[in-house]
Structure 1
Amino acid sequence: MNIDYIGYMKELFDYFDKFLKLSAETQNILAGVCSTVFLKKNELLQPIGHTCKTIYFVQSGIARIFYYKDGVDITESFAFAGNIIVRVESLFTGKPSKKAIQVLEDSEIIAINATKLFKLYDEYPSIERLFRLIFENGYVETVNRIESIQFHTAEERYLSLLKQTNIVQKIPLKHIASYLGITQVSLSRIRASIK
């Protein structure tokens, strides 16, 4: 993999650097299991029932994980530019996921082939360590999300979402409301009260 290609994926390697600095050789090897995917607004990156074999990095755009409960579309999480998004429970169990990944605007995604990635672990321990740290961070974020539902009000959770990104206005209100576990009417009240 040439250096120009790695330069193209600068945001991805900047993200990796937050967890662990990789050698130039290891970056080249890692770039070799990556590819770029372009999606249009509202396209599915992964459908429900798909067995996840890919880790995604949002280069630009917005993605969400969602599922259906009693026929209602529920948003579990959002990923903005500079974030990883993956169906971890499917990736590690090899079972089809009951959830899907969708982009909410035209997006550029870097896809990391997990099958090829995991084969690199023995030969490149730093790659294994990097992804262990990334998955540990993801686990902590999931616990924090569960605790925010348990201990914080919908308004506090909305304010927390606003702190994560300045592009919340690009997300349809129905997705934000389902993410917060409230109705769109309640969300409108919250938005009006904090202006």
Structure 2
Amino acid sequence: MWSIFDFFDTIFRVNDQAKQALQEIIREKTYSKNEIIQAIGSRCRTIYFVKSGGARIFYYKDGTDITEHFAFDNDLIVRAESLFTGNPTSKGIQAIDATRMLAIDSEKLFHLYDQHHDLERLFRLIFEREYVNTVKRLESLQFKSAKERYLELLDTTDFVQKIPLKYIASYLGITPVSLSRIRAGID
């Protein structure tokens, strides 16, 4: 199964029984370009890892589509505020391009925690890492220029060329016109 366990091993190595139990609840899913993976207003019950392609978390503010997060190869994508509270969320997940993901049913995973403490530790470390990434993103929005944020995104992935400019602009917190100016200045 792809390199998900190689990836997990870079975070925390679980024992073989825990690995087998986790493998049994992982499902591969394929989404087409622009397909909604989780709808706005739904409850998040699945943890996704991008195998190939890309996805985004988005919401609407005053009728404007805003991108909050991008996920590319080996990235986690989850609406954590809904996953941990069980409440519906005002955010959705959408495939940016043809995307393959590994999906883990959160309820089944959380039940495995009691039997396999290795899994609980692995996912605690994964979620801590994502929390730190969220804090870094907020700090980036507060302290870095739009150009610096755009250059950081370019360093993150080669997938940027496939992302619609309006998604990138909203992610950076700028208008598409400002993004065009930034791109013209670095080409």
Q: TM-score range by the shorter chain?
A: over 0.9
1:84 aligns with 2:71: no
Offset of 1:69 from its aligned partner? 0.2
Pairs aligned (count): 187
Residues 28-48 of structure 1: CA deviation (Å, up to 9, x unaligned): 110111111111100011000
Q: Which runs of 4+ in 1 moved over 6 A?
A: none
Match of 1:184 among 171, 176, 187: 176
Structure-2 residue corresponding to 1:70: 62
**Tell me, which stretches of 5 or more residues in structure 1 are unaligned?**
1-7
Structure-2 residue corresponding to 1:170: 162
Pairing of 1:1-195 with structure 2 (within 5 A): 8=1, 10-195=2-187
Percent of aligned pairs with the same amino acid: 57
Q: Aligned to 1:101, what secondary structure does the other structure show?
A: strand
The whole-number CA distance in structure 2 between the counterparts of 1:123 and 1:22 is 12
The whole-number CA distance in structure 2 between the counterparts of 1:107 and 1:51 is 21
Task: Decide whether the 8 Å contact of 2:15 with 2:118 is kept in 1.
Answer: no
The one-letter amino acid of 2:94's match is Q
TM-score scaled by length of structure 2: 0.98
Output the aligned Cα RMSD.
Answer: 0.7
**Tell me, which stretches of 5 or more residues in structure 2 are unaligned?**
none
Offset of 1:23 from its aligned partner? 2.1
